Structure 1
Amino acid sequence: MSVTPLAHVPTTHPSPAFRGRIGQDARSGHYAVPRRYRLHLTVACADGLRIAVVHSLLGLDDVCPVTYLDPIPDCPDGGHSALRPLYEASAHRYTGAAVAPVLSDDWSGRIVSTHATDITRDLARHFGSGRPALHPCGAESETEAVERMCRGIGQAAQHAGSAGGDATERAGHLEQLLDSLGSLERWLVGREYLIRDHVTAADVELWVALVQLDTVHRHHLDAAAVQRIADHPNLWAYARRLAAHPAFGTHLDLDGIARRHHARCRGLEAAGAAVQILDWAAHAARAH
């Protein structure tokens, strides 16, 4: 597999600065009270998109307001100036970047959590009553397996399109990616959703991973690799169906994803940039 050399700006995923939980630690005082908490998100990043979809699936507009941030951070360190007061109020002499996503406590003016998985689970557990269970009882191991697979898809795609390493290593990562996609392709035969007969957190994870694969990672792959990725009709039909769901499609900020990607990556794109797998805009438009 040949890849056009890129001057790639590595992305880092630092450990979350805050990992408070709603309703799980009485000492924290973070009780499950409607309209007490607020989300600060940019849906152009994977974590923000996951949280926004879960928030909509749970119908939490009146329970937990959302402040949407620009896709591109406005601080040199990669943080958002709008979040700096929250970070400084939450940690003495905080010197790190004020990054999203953030779940804040409007009562105290401080941050509860910056850990995306904890945030979505707490929202579903404490404010999701009366809705289809995003984390069905007995499906914990299945959901975690999908989460691990989706992380693997993102990592394999990133390494397959990396400017570093040799062609053999990149080809190996591409095969890992295709193996995972092939497993999902076979699993989805005759299924509308991944693990239950309704949308669950597993579907949110996979859909966001597929969005990232087509709108971000393919820009660093050659055309032949993208064609092989696209050759999974069940998988991409699944992604297309979910894009037409209001809770998914309305949060698909294609322009923001493109702006964020180009702000973080420098240099020439690979040939795969021209091979779009799905017309996301056309399918997501049905959600409005």
Structure 2
Amino acid sequence: MSEDQQLPEHAEGGKYSVRGKEFTRDTRYIQTRITADGADGFPVEPGRYRLIAARACPWANRAIIVHRLLGLEDVLSLGLAGPVHDSRSWTFDLDPDGRDPVLGVERLREAYLKRDPEYPRGITVPAIVDTTTGAVVTNDFAQMTEDLSTQWRRYHREGAPDLWPEAHRAEMDTINKRVYTEVNNGVYRCGFAGSQESYEAAYDRLWTALDWLEDLLADRRFLVGDTITESDVRLFTTLVRFDAVYHGHFKCNREKLTEMPNLWAYARDLFQTPGFGDTVDFDQIKRHYYVVHTDINPTAIVPKGPDLSGWHTEHGRDRLGGRPFGDGTPPA
């Protein structure tokens, strides 16, 4: 891999590259927001927008989970791209005619080009599209899910959890920042390192953070407070992919998730919570990483393993107290 090689523009969570042998991610997203007051010209409006995601992508998986937990299906429709895209864009090959049934497009790229005919950055998921124009409104995945919790509150289902509790926001901000830089992005820093030195530095950073989380979760059921928050959503989407792809494919192989008692039990607890595990498709996850990342896996052979049946085993985290939905209820 050359020193300044650009990795795929359609890559999940943002265009990224290797510069000076170290992985970097382009985080210049379309930052337009859909808000209750419509300050950016896009007010919250039932039926107007479509969330485009992919079950394979961890960043999009966040949006799928939040969308489901909050019960927004009837006000914000969900379109799903397939796990294996081509060099131009995420495609809608899961739909019978290869087109998104609402937007009528074959490639998500078409919605980006309607926003900007010379759009210069990655064609990424998740993205929210204005169905009245067919143009992308935003692909800022972190702000997007926070806004689903705060700006779309009027349309949440009865019993929806508060994923951004006011009393815990300062602690959430601190944890979210470390989880993003060291874990969510840390596995990519390992997988796409352009030299032995940069890989080993990334590996050490990742495992320092995972050891911190292993200790943190020894005496608390969730990352913050006594209920699930978006902090748990953000960590879960990396953990659920860890043994299936990151351990081997990205060389994050000091230990498997199943060998870290607290993190493994925590991940199973969330997986078995409605809204989490029922959004996960391990086949799509493995196909995406092993087929699309040809720089890492040029044969595109998808491994049969690992055995994933352990996700349904008893986790024992109830002993730490807390209730996933607090006084609310799980999604139907």
* TM-score between the two structures when normalised by the length of structure 1: 0.81
Aligned-residue offset at 1:244? 1.0
Partner of 2:206: 177
Deviation of the 1:26 alpha carbon: 4.0
- Cross-structure match for 2:64: 52
Between 1:108-117 and 1:91-100, the stretch displaced more is 91-100
Measured in 2, the distance between the counterparts of 1:90 and 1:159 equals: 30
Map 1:89-238; keep pairs closer than 5 Å: 89-94=114-119, 98-128=123-153, 129=156, 130=158, 131-151=160-180, 152-161=182-191, 164-166=194-196, 170-220=199-249, 225-227=254-256, 230-238=258-266
Greater percentage in helix? 1
Whether 1:241 aligns to 2:272 is no
> Which protein, 1 or 2, shows the higher relative CO under an 8 Å CA cutoff with sep ≥ 6?
1
- 1:263 matched to 2:291? The reply is yes
> Which letter does structure 2 place at the counterpart of 1:35?
G
**1:4 equivalent in structure 2:** none
* TM-score, with length taken from structure 2: 0.71
CA offsets per residue over residues 182-234 of structure 1, 9 Å max, x none?
Answer: 2212221232211021110000011112123322211146696135x543201
- Is contact 1:46-1:208 (8 Å) kept? yes
- Measure the CA separation in 2 of the matches of 1:82 and 1:260: 16
1:69 maps to amino acid: A
CA distance in 2, matches of 1:34, 1:242: 29
For residue 250 of structure 1, the aligned residue among 264, 270, 278 is: 278
Determine helix, strand or coil for the equivalent of 1:139.
helix
Aligned with residue 41 of structure 1, among 53, 57, 62:
53
Shift of 1:33: 1.7
Q: Does 1:77 align with 2:77?
A: no
Is this contact kept in 2: 1:150–1:209, CA < 8 A? no
Following TM superposition, by how much is the alpha carbon of 1:177 offset from its aligned partner in structure 2, in angstroms? 2.2
Amino acid at match of 1:196: G
Are the counterparts in 1 of residues 49 and 128 from structure 2 also a CA contact under 8 Å?
Answer: yes
Instruction: Tell me which residue corresponds to 2:325.
Output: none
Measured in 2, the distance between the counterparts of 1:276 and 1:122 equals: 36
Task: Say if 1:141 and 1:216 are closer, same or farther in 2 by CA, change over 3 A.
Answer: farther
Closer/same/farther in 2, CA of residues 236 and 179 from structure 1, 3 Å limit:
same
**Unmatched 5+ residue regions in structure 1?**
1-8
Letter in 2 for 1:77: R
CA distance in 1 between partners of 2:202 and 2:305 (Å): 20
Distance 1:174 1:16, change over 3 A: closer
C-alpha deviation, 1:45, in angstroms: 0.6
Tell me the percent identity. 28
Aligned alpha-carbon RMSD (Å): 3.2
**8 A contact 1:243–1:280 mirrored in 2:** no
Counterpart residue identity of residue 46, structure 1: P
Aligned-partner Cα distance in 1 for 2:165–2:252: 39
- Uncovered stretches (5+) of structure 2, i.e. residues with no partner: 1-6, 17-24, 92-105, 314-330
Does the aligned pair in 2 maintain the 1:254–1:281 contact within 8 Å?
Answer: no
- CA distance in structure 2 between the partners assigned to 1:157 and 1:232 by the alignment: 16
CA contact 1:146–1:206 (8 Å) conserved in 2: no
Q: 2:44 aligns with which of 5, 22, 32?
A: 32
The number of equivalent residue pairs is 272
Answer yes or no: is the 8 Å Cα contact 1:48–1:100 preserved in 2.
Answer: yes
Distance (Å, rounded) in 1 between the aligned partners of 2:169 and 2:286: 34
Seen in structure 2, the aligned counterparts of structure 1 residues 181 and 95 have a Cα distance that, compared at 3 Å, is closer
Deviation at 1:260, TM superposition (A): 0.6
Tell me, in whole angstroms, the C-alpha distance in 2 between the residues paired with 1:252 and 1:234. Answer: 21
